[in-house]
Amino acid sequence: MEHVAPEPAVESIQLHREIVSFRAAGQDFCIDIGLVREIRGWTPTTLLPRAPDFVTGVMNLRGNVIPVIDLALRLGLGRTEPTERHVIVIANLGGGTVGLLVEAVSDIITVEAEGLRPTPEVAGGGGNGFVEGVFTVEDALIRALGLSRVLPAAEKPLEDVML
Task: Encode pLDDT of 125-159 as tens digits.
Answer: 545 588 999 998 888 899 999 888 887 654 444 44
3-state secondary structure of 162: helix
At 32 the three-state DSSP class reads strand
Nearest residue to 147 (alpha-carbon basis) of 48, 43, 24, 62: 24
Radius of gyration of the chain (CA): 19
SS3 13: coil
Tens digit of each residue's pLDDT (9 = 90 or more) over 45-70: 999 999 999 999 999 999 999 999 99
Is residue 22 very low, low, confident or very high in pLDDT (cuts 50, 70, 90)?
A: very high
- Distance (Å, whole) CA 147 – CA 31: 7
CATH class entry, domain 17-162: mainly beta
Q: Is a pLDDT exceeding 90 seen at residue 20?
A: yes
Q: What is the pLDDT of residues 90-103, one digit of tens each?
A: 999 877 899 999 99
Instruction: State whether the Cα torsion 40-42-43-49 is positive or negative.
Output: positive
89 burial via Cβ count (<10 Å: 0-12, 13-18, 19+): buried
C-beta of residue 74 within 8 angstroms of C-beta of residue 51: no
What letter would DSSP give residue 62?
Answer: T
Rounded distance, CA 78 to CA 29, Å?
Answer: 15
Q: Provide DSSP, 125-153.
A: -GGGGGEEEEEEETTEEEEEE-HHHHSTT
Domain boundaries, the chain: 17-162
